[in-house]
Amino acid sequence: MLLPYTLGLIVLVAFPAFISFGLAFFQYDGLTTPRWVGLLNFVLVYTDELFLLSIQNSLALVIVSVPLRVLGAFVVARLVQRNGRFLSWFRAAIFLPTIIPAPAYVMAWLWLLNPLFGPLNLLLRAIGLPAPNWLADPVWAKPGLILIALWQIGEGFLINLAALQDMPPEIENAARIDGANSFQFLRYITFPILLPILLLLAFRDAILIFQESFTTILLATNGGPYYATYTLPLFIYEQGFDLLSFGTASAALWVLYMITGLVVLCLYLIARQWGIGTTDETFVI
């Protein structure tokens, strides 16, 4: 019963990944036979200023939005963890933006962030705050994208919620008796217990953002204004699907593989450290 999954992984993930690894050494346009060019693609790509810029932009997006998303998911999950009225509806409402199909969601935000007519800026002006020009402004385009990413945190929210629910209530009761206040409890008990999960989530989110941001960027900014939101996926998309230069696209992918490799390594270390996958209690993802 494990067979279809294994086969699927091999054909749809392992094999394509392997091919793209090798394609980096060929010149290939999908039409003529591939031609061995050695390291030429790497030289071309790694001297391309746009490529370097795209990595910078990608990293900037990930570094800012991932902690915000993971912490946001944690805080929100903590808020609706314990019983109360309409609890399941609160949870549903928080999850709802995640259900919206990505292009529809991007379209909604494109309207919300419209610099002149968008409801968000109307609101900001109404309460006397400066209304930035968001996606139309080279400086504010990235914050705009990060803002868009902050609402769809349903998956992280659920995982945090499950992890919080998994904590035995006795711990909290014991801590209360010892006189710990809420903050102390959070800081010294909840947080350490949840740390591996938050870290796992952060890594997964980093990879996810790399990818998800592409849809947003393609529909909302197309890399602009003036390359302010030009990211690695966009570079790879242009190389692969616009210029049909699969070789250079593969060479660019190597960076991604290196990042992924690092992430997987960290993951493995974390997993070993906390014994994830062996014990039941902390296993959530």
Partner 1 sequence: MRHLLSKERWILILRLGTTAVFLLPLFWMLLTALHPPGTPLPQSLNLWPNTPTLNNFIRIWQIIPIGRFTLNSLLVSTIAIPLTLLISSWAGFSIAHLPPTSQRRWVLLSLALLMIPGIALWFTRFLLYRQLHWLNTYWALIVPAWMGTTPFYVLMFYRAFRRIPSAIYDAARLETSHAFQIWAYIAFPLARPTALGVSLLSLTFYWGDFLSPLLYLRTESLYTLPIAIQLLQQMAPSDWPLLMATAVYTSLIPVTLFLLTQPHFAHLNRRNP
Partner 2 sequence: MRNRYLLSQHINYILLLLLTLILLIACQNNQPTTISFMVFGDPAERQAYLDLVTAFQNTHPDIRIEVTHIPSPRDYRTRLATEFAAGTPPDITLMNYRRYAAFAASDLLEPLGPYLAQSTRIQPTDFYPITIQAFTWQGTIMCIPQNISSLVVYYNQDLFDKAGLPYPSADWTWDDFVNTALVLTRDDDGDGRIDQYGLGVSPSLFRLAPFIWQNNGPLVDNPEHPTKLTLTRFPALEALQWFVDLRQVHGVVPDRIEEAAQDSESRFVAGTTAMYLNSRRGTPTYRQIKTFRWDVAPLPRGKQAAGILHSDAYCLSRTAPHKDAAWTFIEFANSPEGQAIIAQSGRTVPSLIQVAESAAFLDPTQPPANSQVWLDTIPTLKTVPVISTWEEIEKIASEEIERAFYGDITAETAASLAVTRTEEYFFIGQLAFPPLSDN
Residue 230 as a binder of partner 1 (CB under 8 A): the answer is no
* Span of 8-16, 23-31, 267-275, 277-285 interacting with partner 2 by CB under 8 A: 23-31
Read off the tokens for 122: 């109307």
Q: Which does 136 bind (CB under 5 to 8 A by kind): partner 1, partner 2, none?
A: partner 2
**Residues 96 to 115 in contact with partner 1, rule: CB under 8 A:** 96-105, 107-112, 114
Q: Are strands 35-36 and 26-27 parallel, antiparallel or unpaired?
A: antiparallel
Q: Interaction with partner 2 in 229-268: which residues (CB under 8 A)?
A: 241-244
Hey, how many other C-beta atoms are within 10 angstroms of the C-beta on 248?
26
- Only one of the segments 85-93, 115-123, 166-174, 192-200 lies at the binding site for partner 2 (rule: CB under 8 A); that segment is 115-123
User: CA 19, CA 246: separation in Å to the nearest integer?
Assistant: 11
Cβ-Cβ contacts under 8 Å for 85 (sequence gap 6 or more)? none
| 225 part of the interface to partner 2, by CB under 8 A | yes
**Contact between 116 and partner 2 per CB under 8 A:** yes
Q: Report the residue number, 140 or 210, with the smaller CB distance to partner 1.
A: 210
* Phi, psi values for residue 32, rounded to 5°: -95, 170
70 binds, among partner 2, partner 1, none (CB under 5 to 8 A by kind): none
Told to check if 48 binds partner 2 by CB under 8 A, we report no
- Is residue 26 classed as helix, strand or coil in its secondary structure? strand
Residue at 122: amino acid letter:
L
DSSP state for residue 190 in the 8-state scheme: I
- For partner 2, how many residues bind (rule: CB under 8 A)? 19
Beta carbons of 40 and 27 less than 8 angstroms apart? yes
Q: Which residues pair with 27 in a beta bridge?
A: 35
Q: How far is the CB of 60 from partner 1 (least distance, A)?
A: 17
Does residue number 133 form part of the binding site for partner 2 (CB under 8 A)? yes
- Binding-site member from 215, 224, 238, 282 for partner 1 (CB under 8 A): 215
Burial of 13 (0-12, 13-18, 19+ CB in 10 A): exposed
- Which tokens sit at 203? 């890594």
Residue 135 binds which of partner 1, partner 2, none (CB < 5-8 A, kind-dependent): partner 2
Residues 63-92 close enough to bind partner 1 by CB under 8 A:
76, 79-80, 84-85, 88-92
31 touching partner 2, by CB under 8 A:
yes
> Alpha-carbon torsion 17, 22, 25, 31, what sign?
negative
The residues of the shown chain that bind partner 2, judged by CB under 8 A, are 29-31, 114-118, 133, 135-138, 225-226, 241-244
